[in-house]
Amino acid sequence: MTLFILDPNLENEHGHHLNWDLSIAEAALDRGEDVVVYANRAFAAGVPQTVKVVPYFSYSTYLRRSEDRITGRFDDFRYFNDILAEELEALPRGMFAATDVVLVPTLSEIHLLAYVSWAKRFDPVAAPLFVIHLMFPSGVSPAAPREFTVVDPLQALTGSGRGVAGGASRVLRQSMVAAQVALATTLLAGSVLLLESFVRLQQVPLGFAPGGVLTARVGLPRAAYSELPRVRDFYERLLQSLEANADVQSAAVATSAPFAAGVRRGAVVGERTTASTVSSLSVAEHIVSEGYFQTLSIPILLGRVFDERDVAGSPSVVVINQVTARQLWPRGDAIGQQLEIDGRLHDVVGVSGDVRGDDVRGATGGGPERQSPAAIYFAAAQFPQSTMTVLLRASSGLSKRTRSTNDLAAVAIALRAAIREIDPAVPADQVRPLDDWLTEAVAQPRLTTTLAAAFAAMALLLAGIGIYAVAAYSVGQRRPEIGLRIAVGATRAQIVAMILRSGLTSAGAGMLIGCAGALAVNRLLAGLLFDVRPEDPLAFASVATMLGVVTLVACYLPAMRAASVDPLVTLRSQ
């Protein structure tokens, strides 16, 4: 805020004009305001360096051109007003802001014509606050200036020294709003990034269809199933029984299921032909039955899956995923090639799609954010295992038990019944839908996103409350100013726009600071983000939109109250 004092009568270092102007200027400086005094061109007195004095006006009201004490006096005043009007009009209007105050000290109300005409040319909302101070109104003699006490007209106007259009308190309030908005911006930006990352994580292609699939861990007792033919026979009978059940669409067994608990091993494979671009590759090793790919809806891109030809004693065959095929045989000629694992050769008969959640790192294959690893699949009929994961896809038809589709409860009952029929001593553990395992895999990202969203929501709420409180308090403090603006012609819409503009300006500054802070903080979140950049423009645009709406809503009610101010009641109370 800047206080402009326009005093054409300030001509020299003597008299009450200099004392009065300096007293007002020093009081404004104590409040932290800037002061500029436009004096008469004849002024050359020394003043404190903190007060800027600009010699500008050509004439003073003490000018006398006529000896006629009746008609000459009015001619002199008219001449002075004409000159003063020209010099006021020459002042650049752009140097006066809406938060500034223009103070006009004068000896008589007769000299006000030029000032009033000049002030009326300003826009009522964008104009500074004009204060006309009659040092000695008509009928008061300046003969004894020491009997008068210099009073700051701004304090006299507002009572108890409250700033009309600004001051240190207003800057403090705006700084508080900006700080709240900056904090909310930082938290919201991080929260939106985590939310966007979580949404993309949920939408990432898994390579299989987990819906409607039931999983269970079955471990055969070593004492009863010490021979591999017995192990193979148990699982073959189990799959035949389950596939015959009307509630089961397809059934399979595997050493593990994607994202589920199971046995996961890594292996190093070697390529036996010159067609490969690498000599060896680390892969995830899986042992599955022939219905595994159908049950999980994993596509077969080349070749075939396991069938009745792939039994014990027949040549060992494997199905590899696309990552393995791309790294070993980038030209796409993987079918018919051979892989060497632990000194044994295996023929490649098929290439499947890539599947997430099959990583050998971790007990459950990692989360969906991990890329599909290189993987190979062995036939369970050729390499039987005593502990396997049973995978059952529920039938899409109506269940005979519950009369509903995709009834996993009926599938679980069928599984337990089939196991009891073969061997009642064999337990079925961890019977649960495959979707549950997938939900657990994203539990940590979901928790992080939820906590960040909760903190961001609280910060947004506090910012809205803070903006509303500051706007309401500011309107209360600026009632005299608003009353004056309405009195000189400001419309209801202009007053509302003025209050909204003030709130949006503070919030905008806070958003800029908060965005700078968010850019720094979001880099720390890079390890928690999936397929989202820390400086993602969509996230920052969303934050700006949310905070802009909150600011508008928070400022609207105080702005409407400001527009309903009665100027007569307000000014009389002052």
SS (H, E, C) 217-236: EEECCCCCCCCHHHHHHHHH
Strand spans (E) along 257-371: 265-271, 280-288, 300-303, 317-321, 338-341, 344-352
| Shared-domain flag, residues 521 and 492 | yes
Instruction: Compute the distance between CA of residue 257 and CA of residue 215 in angstroms, rounded to an integer.
Output: 8
Q: Pick from 425, 459, 478: which residue ends a domain?
A: 425
Which of 150-159, 339-348, 489-498 has the highest average model confidence (pLDDT)?
339-348
| Shared-domain flag, residues 503 and 418 | no
| Shared-domain flag, residues 419 and 464 | no
pLDDT tens for 298-316 read 999 999 999 989 988 899 9
Q: Pick from 425, 453, 479: which residue ends a domain?
A: 425
Q: What is the mean pLDDT of residues 140-164?
A: 44
Q: Which residues contact 93 (CB under 8 A, 6 or more apart)?
A: 122
Q: What's the confidence (pLDDT) of residue 419?
A: 94
Q: Residue 269 forms beta bridges with which residues?
A: 281
Residue with tokens 């007053």: 495
Q: Picking from 1-10, 30-39, 157-166, 468-477, which range would have the lowest pLDDT averaged per residue?
A: 157-166
Q: What's the confidence (pLDDT) of residue 140?
A: 41
Q: Is the pLDDT of residue 219 over 80?
A: yes
Which of 173-182, 242-251, 262-271, 439-448 has the highest average model confidence (pLDDT)?
242-251
Q: Is the pLDDT of residue 17 over 70?
A: yes
Query: What angle separates helix 228-243 from helix 408-422, to the nearest 10 degrees?
Result: 140
In a domain, 164, yes or no: no
In a domain, 476, yes or no: yes
What are the C-alpha distances in Å from 456 to residues 33, 184, 192, 513? 37, 6, 9, 16
Q: Is the pLDDT of residue 159 over 60?
A: no
Which letter does DSSP use for residue 112 in this model? G
Burial of 517 (0-12, 13-18, 19+ CB in 10 A): middle
Instruction: Compute the distance between CA of residue 128 and CA of residue 99 in angstroms, rounded to an integer.
Output: 6
Half-sphere exposure of 138 (CA within 13 A, CB side): 4
Q: What's the confidence (pLDDT) of residue 331?
A: 81
Q: Is the pLDDT of residue 284 over 80?
A: yes
Q: Tell me the three-class secondary structure of 2-25, residue by residue.
A: EEEEECCCCCCCCCHHHHHHHHHH
Q: What's the confidence (pLDDT) of residue 520?
A: 85
pLDDT tens for 513-563 read 988 888 888 888 887 788 888 888 888 888 888 888 888 888 888 888 888
| Shared-domain flag, residues 471 and 562 | yes
Q: What's the confidence (pLDDT) of residue 237?
A: 94
In a domain, 389, yes or no: yes
Residue with tokens 């006096």: 73
Between 449 and 125, residue with greater pLDDT: 449
Count of positions (residues) in the chain: 574
| Shared-domain flag, residues 368 and 514 | no
In a domain, 99, yes or no: yes
388: helix, strand or coil: strand
Query: What angle separates helix 479-487 from helix 443-477, to the nearest 10 degrees?
Result: 60
Between 80 and 146, residue with greater pLDDT: 80
Buried b (16+ CB within 10 A) or exposed e, 440-471: bbbeebeebbeebbeebeebbeebbebbbebb
| Shared-domain flag, residues 463 and 383 | no
CA dihedral 485, 488, 493, 494 (to 10 degrees): -60
Domain count, the chain: 3
Nearest to 216 by CA among 21, 7, 388, 417: 388
| Shared-domain flag, residues 406 and 257 | yes
Q: Which residues contact 158 (CB under 8 A, 6 or more apart)?
A: 164, 480, 574
What are the C-alpha distances in Å from 134 to residues 3, 112, 375, 570? 17, 10, 93, 21
Q: What's the confidence (pLDDT) of residue 107?
A: 56
| pLDDT class of 143 with cuts at 50, 70, 90 | very low
The CATH number of whichever domain residue 110 belongs to comes to 3.40.50
Strand spans (E) along 383-499: 387-394, 428-433
Q: What's the confidence (pLDDT) of residue 171?
A: 78
In a domain, 185, yes or no: yes
Quick one: what percent of the chain has pLDDT higher than 90?
21
Q: Tell me the three-class secondary structure of 44-96, residue by residue.
A: CCCCCCCCEEEEEECCCCCCCCCCCCCHHHHHHHHHHHHHHHHHHHCCCHHHC
| Shared-domain flag, residues 198 and 320 | no
Q: What's the confidence (pLDDT) of residue 71?
A: 46
Q: What's the confidence (pLDDT) of residue 220?
A: 93
pLDDT tens for 239-258 read 999 999 988 999 999 998 88
Nearest to 451 by CA among 196, 200, 190: 190
Q: What is the mean pLDDT of residues 404-430?
A: 87
Instruction: Compute the distance between CA of residue 391 and CA of residue 419 in angstroms, rounded to an integer.
Output: 14
| Shared-domain flag, residues 123 and 90 | yes
pLDDT tens for 496-522 read 888 888 888 888 888 899 888 888 888
Query: In the predicted model, what is the mean pLDDT of the chain?
Result: 80
Q: What's the confidence (pLDDT) of residue 533?
A: 86
Q: What's the confidence (pLDDT) of residue 215?
A: 93
Nearest to 433 by CA among 387, 495, 384, 391: 391
| Shared-domain flag, residues 154 and 197 | no
pLDDT tens for 318-345 read 999 999 998 888 887 889 888 888 888 8
| Shared-domain flag, residues 313 and 177 | no
Question: H or E element: which one contains 249?
Answer: strand 248-254
Q: What is the mean pLDDT of residues 3-26?
A: 79
75: containing domain: 2-158
In a domain, 549, yes or no: yes
In a domain, 434, yes or no: no
Nearest to 208 by CA among 173, 250, 245: 250
Q: Pick from 425, 452, 483: which residue ends a domain?
A: 425
Q: What is the mean pLDDT of residues 1-30?
A: 79
Residue with tokens 């000695």: 136
| Shared-domain flag, residues 402 and 258 | yes
In a domain, 554, yes or no: yes
